[in-house]
Structure 1
Amino acid sequence: MKILKHPFESNPDEFYEYLLLGPLTAIYLAKKKTQFNIIKEFSNLLIDKFAIHSSSFFHLSKGIIELKKSNEKIKMKGFDLFTVNSTFRTMMESYATFNNIFVEPKSEEEEEFRFLLWKLDGLFDKEKFDIGENDFPEAKELLERDKKILAETVAKIEACNFYNVLPKLELEKVYKPDKSKTNWRFLIDDNLKVTPLKITDLIKHTCKTKGFINNYRYTSTHAHTNYLSIEHFKQTRGIPIPDEYVNPITKLAIYLTCLMISDITLIDDNAKKVFQNLPNEVKEYVTGITKAIKKQ
């Protein structure tokens, strides 16, 4: 990706805060004014999730741990490497999920199909919880309710138009309810050929650039606590983290926010109108970053 040089990037912290509290908030509030059904409600909830994680990431990346070398005159802040990186990983996943379910589809029918697969995937995951009928007073009722919701979701999937359009062999790539398997992450071409995606593939498809892809892999090592993450911890423990380390990931967070803003305007007319009223230099920046990433 060719990094766009812009005056905003001279102080990424301030611009990132502005994007979160200004354009993203205004555009999201405009989208919420649009009449929506249960599926669209979940698109808003994913934006909420992205925004909350973004706020946490912003504050965490400024340093929250006071180092031993601090004194009454000079406060030295440390960097919670694991939490910052794990939070950014979650931000990427939240954006990629939003994009794949609500922006990628070429029709309302496809959006409904993807959403129901996503819901069913979550219900299958919930089935794996180790809960017995006698574990607590409401356990039996809860388990019965979950089974009912799962059955209703399967019925809705098999009744939706997009399900009935897909060839059987393509459908089986993403939908195997008899084996409690489904995959809402997929691409589909004009010939209805389906390509299932793993989460890393989805990040590659939605975020595209090496910076995001490598950062997703890097932050995953911190989320899962492997050797590499502990080695990084050893190298950075008790040491003030310089701007040269923090600024690149903050810039990625800025780019990710630009992608989210652009996607919201693609699917909602109210949000698009608010975007058009932003200062020209902000519109140009958001549009330029988005085009540069999506052309990869």
Structure 2
Amino acid sequence: MHPTKKDILSALIRYNFVLKILERITSNVESKNIKDKRWFIFSEKIARKYLNQAYTFQQIIQDDIYFEKGNEDIRFVDFSSMFSLLRIQLETYSVFYHLFADKCHIEEKIIRFRLWELDGLRSMERYEKPNDADVSKRLSKNKEDIEYCISVIRGFDFFKNLDSNQQDWLIKYANWKFSSESLKNKNKKKWKLSINDMIINTGLSESLFRDWYSFTSTHTHSSYWSVIQNDTLTLEEKITMEYIAIMQGGFVTSFFIKDFCGIYEIARLVLDSLTKNEREVIDSFDDNGRKNEKELR
């Protein structure tokens, strides 16, 4: 049975609600940390990036566009952009989780963050050209930041307890996509986590991962199927895909909310201020989209 337009409206109301709550949480955290320079304040910066992506997705699904085909107006839906945005949001969330919300030792978490920062600083060096005073000054500051990142990483016992090959591998390539478990692998090629590994590690159920991430990938990479799909879908199939996309957006946004609450008390206060029915909207997305505790063990 295909979802109806009423089902889509209901899903859209829930999606807009969870997005509003994440915005409220992020704004509160930003206000609280306005002068804070500690490493974990970047969690709110990634949340803001996610929200920007989510608002673009929201704009796509809320505005109806029609074009003339023969003697009738045909509703235009760009599924490729819609599902590509969902994939980007899921990847943004997985980076947030890997750096700030993962249930690992705090030293491992900080090392991941500093390597992530190191990776970015080195990328900036590659793209910036020191042909004027302003850029040269910025590059000089970059070098200081790079040295600081490396010194912080080398100071942790977690890093000191790794063998020299692993230490060199982390620093030389700024390999922030690792875990203590991946480093136990005898095969060096498996030390680095793939984006798929990082997404699965968030607790996303494997069925959702298969049906969601794999499907969105076909649109992101313009596969043969994605190119012809918009022209071959029936109206009922288009409604179904819209419904699925909106629900998926609700899932990942609720994951973000719950994980933010594990980092900041001010985020938990927002969640605690919701009515029972409002809280159930977020809880239902989180409960149905993640593995249960037994599966995680």
| TM-score, structure 1 normalization | 0.78
- Once the two structures are TM-superposed, the CA of residue 197 in structure 1 deviates from its matched residue by 1.1
Per-residue CA distance 1:193-234 (angstroms, 9 max, x = gap): 475311111112222332234422332333333434323355
Residue of structure 2 aligned with 1:185, choices 158, 177, 195: 177
Q: 1:175 aligned to 2:170?
A: yes
Q: Contact 1:78–1:241 (CA<8 Å) still a contact in 2? A: no
- 2:280 maps to what in 1? 284
Q: Contact 2:86–2:216 (CA<8 Å) still a contact in 1? A: yes
Aligned residues, how many?
279
Q: Contact 2:129–2:135 (CA<8 Å) still a contact in 1? A: yes
- Once the two structures are TM-superposed, the CA of residue 28 in structure 1 deviates from its matched residue by 2.5
- Once the two structures are TM-superposed, the CA of residue 273 in structure 1 deviates from its matched residue by 1.9
**What secondary structure is seen at the aligned counterpart in 1 of 2:179?**
strand
**What secondary structure is seen at the aligned counterpart in 2 of 1:47?**
helix
In structure 2, how many angstroms separate the alpha carbons of the residues matched to 1:240 and 1:138? 57
**Structure 1 runs not aligned, ≥5 long:** 1-6
Q: 1:202 aligned to 2:194?
A: no
- 1:4 maps to what in 2? none
In structure 2, how many angstroms separate the alpha carbons of the residues matched to 1:99 and 1:125? 22
- 1:13 maps to what in 2? 12
TM alignment of 1:127-206, pairs within 5 A: 127-129=125-127, 133-134=130-131, 140-164=136-160, 166-168=161-163, 171-172=166-167, 175-177=170-172, 181-188=173-180, 193=184, 196-206=192-202
In structure 2, how many angstroms separate the alpha carbons of the residues matched to 1:121 and 1:157? 13
- Once the two structures are TM-superposed, the CA of residue 239 in structure 1 deviates from its matched residue by 7.8
Q: 1:62 aligned to 2:54?
A: no
Residues 1:232 and 1:138: Cα distance change in structure 2 (over 3 Å): farther
For residue 227 of structure 2, what is the amino acid of its counterpart?
I
- 2:119 maps to what in 1? 121
Q: Contact 1:174–1:196 (CA<8 Å) still a contact in 2? A: no
Quick check: 285-294 or 167-176, which moved more? 167-176
For residue 187 of structure 1, what is the amino acid of its counterpart?
S
In structure 2, how many angstroms separate the alpha carbons of the residues matched to 1:64 and 1:150? 48
- 1:211 maps to what in 2? 208
- Once the two structures are TM-superposed, the CA of residue 20 in structure 1 deviates from its matched residue by 1.2
Residues 1:68 and 1:98: Cα distance change in structure 2 (over 3 Å): same
- Once the two structures are TM-superposed, the CA of residue 161 in structure 1 deviates from its matched residue by 4.5
For residue 273 of structure 1, what is the amino acid of its counterpart?
L
In structure 2, how many angstroms separate the alpha carbons of the residues matched to 1:214 and 1:172? 37
In structure 1, how many angstroms separate the alpha carbons of the residues matched to 2:40 and 2:218? 33
In structure 2, how many angstroms separate the alpha carbons of the residues matched to 1:127 and 1:287? 43
Residues 1:210 and 1:122: Cα distance change in structure 2 (over 3 Å): farther
**Structure 2 runs not aligned, ≥5 long:** 1-5, 186-190
**What secondary structure is seen at the aligned counterpart in 1 of 2:62?**
coil
- 2:82 maps to what in 1? 84
In structure 2, how many angstroms separate the alpha carbons of the residues matched to 1:217 and 1:49? 23
- 1:30 maps to what in 2? 28
Q: 1:275 aligned to 2:267?
A: no
Please tell me the root mean square deviation across aligned C-alpha atoms, in Å: 3.4
In structure 1, how many angstroms separate the alpha carbons of the residues matched to 2:168 and 2:226? 34
- 1:263 maps to what in 2? 259
Per-residue CA distance 1:103-143 (angstroms, 9 max, x = gap): 115444333211101112223444554x6555x77555555
Q: Contact 1:66–1:75 (CA<8 Å) still a contact in 2? A: yes
- 2:48 maps to what in 1? 48
Residues 1:182 and 1:210: Cα distance change in structure 2 (over 3 Å): farther
- 2:188 maps to what in 1? none
In structure 2, how many angstroms separate the alpha carbons of the residues matched to 1:70 and 1:60? 25
**What secondary structure is seen at the aligned counterpart in 2 of 1:67?**
strand
| TM-score, structure 2 normalization | 0.78
- 1:100 maps to what in 2? 98
In structure 1, how many angstroms separate the alpha carbons of the residues matched to 2:254 and 2:165? 34
**What secondary structure is seen at the aligned counterpart in 1 of 2:68?**
coil
Residues 1:282 and 1:69: Cα distance change in structure 2 (over 3 Å): same
- 1:3 maps to what in 2? none
